[in-house]
Amino acid sequence: MIPFVEKPFKQMRNSYNNCDSINEAALVLRKFRDRRTTVVAVIQHILRHQSTCLCQRVLSAVCIFRNKKFQMVEQNPVYGKRRIYKIVLTGGPCGGKTTGQERLRTFFEEIGWKVYTVPETANILLGGGVKFAELSKEQCYRFQKDMLLALLRIEAVFFNQADVSNAERILIICDRGAMDPAAYIDKKSWNEMLKETNLDQFSLREERYDQILHMTTAADGAEEYYTLANSNVRTETIQEAIEHDRRTRDAWLGHPRVDVIENVGCKSFDDKLLKLIAALCSRMGLPTEDRLAFNSRKRKWLVASFDKKRLPRCEVFIVRHNYLCTDDQNVQVRLRSRSQHGRTTYAITTRHYEGPEPVETRMQLNYREYMNYIKMEDRSRVPINKERRCFMYGKQYYHLDTYTSPLPPSCEGKPLMLLETYTTAPVGDTSEPLLPDFMNILKEVTGDSAYSMYTIANLKVVKRS
């Protein structure tokens, strides 16, 4: 439980009890914004006192409260903090990571964020004289094992500093992450390494970072800019760089938030950096207005069937969504559980429909918080159960969602499969992105409300054309 001062909290709870409307509750929340009490703590405490109605009012107030300090994006469990967002900046050789890291730091510091940049562990070690070409198989395995442990320890230093920082908004940029070493050894050796170090892939990939940003190598689509001059440890040819880029992308398959920053459509390297910043801002729910020209958008297609034998290597998850009650028609709040191999992660997502584009924010939860929030479930909508397959096709990262039993009434007993990806290509573009040729795709349904989860979950059957 996040600590708080009991007396001020009782004052806050009494103030909420005396509110007749959600708007008044929002004003009370603002009144107490200087208290060392987080919204999550308030809701948890109220739920323990069996005041679900009051809890719904608090949550709704949070959703409509315009002050960003009190939106439902507080994910740092440390006393007095507001938000810590951890990303991995990865990619192929000469992809622009170094410059991209600095541009991200500058951009976020200029809008008031505290930024920590975690150095690349491989560069520290390889810069000391280690050369892959000279290593035996045994030496390579030992090096990757030591590098993984060193990476985790270096990250822990910055994570701990963020925990004790007084800053309200903190961005941690990791120059490569814990799954990157998997790109440089075979799967059997990787699994053996995890066993020896008492680590597990699910935790390293699912629970450690909020978002993965992959900078595609210049060797793939911007060959004229590919150079070995900017790194003392880079030796790859163009074809080797492309292969390393592919293996690095594959290493992160299964993470819920992977954005591949391609060279396609970029007239300059600066365009690529703008795409990078826009992808991060979009996932964080930060408005960019006209400051960034490249904004990826989710596109969605209805799938009739697919050939399982031709499906590329993929990560499969069992996903469940539950919508929560809100009193604001412009706000949707939903819970998500995401499971694989007996391990589960939890999150709460708030989507605001005010302004030209919806703004979505997400907060990770532990199991106890998840079970508390589930008490606020919207009974007019059924839970959504899906089997999600995450895979790469060409250079594109896709999700294939297959709705599973019990199916929502809106499915009318028929199976439903939806293919999703994020792309800068406009809706209706049939040339981009490259769609999987092993799927029977019926039509694009991007923007069709009949195929939104919110509509599909509605107990009232909605027939789709």
Convert the pLDDT of each residue in 330-345 to its tens digit: 899 999 999 988 888 8
Residue 289 lies in a domain: yes
> 65 and 122 share a domain?
no
- Domain closes at, from 294, 320, 344: 294
Q: Identify the DSSP state of 318.
A: E
Q: Is the pLDDT of residue 80 over 70?
A: no
- Of 284, 419, 297, nearest to 350 by C-alpha is 284
> 97 and 203 share a domain?
yes
What pLDDT, on the 0 to 100 scale, is given for residue 226? 80
CA distance 162 to 170: 7
Residue 62 lies in a domain: yes
> Residue 461 in contact with residue 414, Cβ under 8 Å?
no
> 42 and 185 share a domain?
no
Average pLDDT of the residues in 213-229? 82
What pLDDT, on the 0 to 100 scale, is given for residue 309? 93
Residue 75 lies in a domain: no
The neighbour count for residue 131, using CB atoms within 10 Å, is 9
CA distance 293 to 336: 31
Q: Is the pLDDT of residue 233 over 80?
A: no
- Of 43, 72, 39, nearest to 334 by C-alpha is 72
> 282 and 303 share a domain?
no
> 276 and 343 share a domain?
no
Q: Residues 149, 153, 154, 158: what is their CA dihedral angle, to the nearest 10 degrees?
A: 150
> Residue 421 in contact with residue 433, Cβ under 8 Å?
yes
Average pLDDT of the residues in 64-86? 48
> 190 and 330 share a domain?
no
> 178 and 266 share a domain?
yes
> Residue 217 in contact with residue 244, Cβ under 8 Å?
yes
Residue 81 Cα distances to 32, 49, 55, 363, angstroms: 15, 25, 21, 14
The neighbour count for residue 209, using CB atoms within 10 Å, is 22
Q: Residues near 113 by Cβ (< 8 Å), separated by ≥ 6?
A: 167, 169, 170, 171
Q: Residue 314 forms beta bridges with which residues?
A: 391
Q: What angle do CA 309, 315, 320 make, to 5 degrees?
A: 115
The order of strands in the sheet holding 359-365 is 359-365, 343-352, 331-340, 314-323, 384-393, 396-403, 417-423, 297-306, 439-444
CATH code of residue 306: 2.40.320.10
Residue 78 lies in a domain: no
| Global pTM exceeds 0.75 | no
Residue 463 lies in a domain: no
Residue 34: band (very low, low, confident or very high) from pLDDT cuts 50, 70, 90? very low
Of 2-16, 59-73, 211-225, 284-298, the poorest mean pLDDT is in: 59-73
- The total of structural domains in the chain comes to 3
Residue 416 lies in a domain: yes
> 61 and 101 share a domain?
no
Q: Mean pLDDT of all residues in the chain?
A: 81
> 412 and 378 share a domain?
yes
> 87 and 148 share a domain?
yes
Q: Which structural domain, as residue segments, surrounds residue 112?
A: 83-294
CA distance 301 to 121: 40
What pLDDT, on the 0 to 100 scale, is given for residue 236? 76
What pLDDT, on the 0 to 100 scale, is given for residue 52? 45
What pLDDT, on the 0 to 100 scale, is given for residue 382? 97
CATH code of residue 206: 3.40.50.300
> 387 and 308 share a domain?
yes
What pLDDT, on the 0 to 100 scale, is given for residue 76? 36
CA distance 399 to 409: 23
Q: Is the pLDDT of residue 8 over 50?
A: no
- Farthest CA pair distance, the chain: 73
> 147 and 50 share a domain?
no
- Domain closes at, from 24, 43, 70: 70
User: E strand or H helix at 393, and its extent?
Assistant: strand 384-393
Average pLDDT of the residues in 278-287? 86
CA distance 114 to 116: 7
CA distance 88 to 206: 12
Average pLDDT of the residues in 152-174? 95
Q: Is the pLDDT of residue 14 over 60?
A: no
What pLDDT, on the 0 to 100 scale, is given for residue 165? 92
- Domain closes at, from 247, 272, 294: 294
94 dihedral zone (left: phi>0; alpha: psi -120 to 50; beta): left
Residue 462 lies in a domain: no
Q: Which residue has the tokens 């070995």?
A: 228
Residue 349 lies in a domain: yes
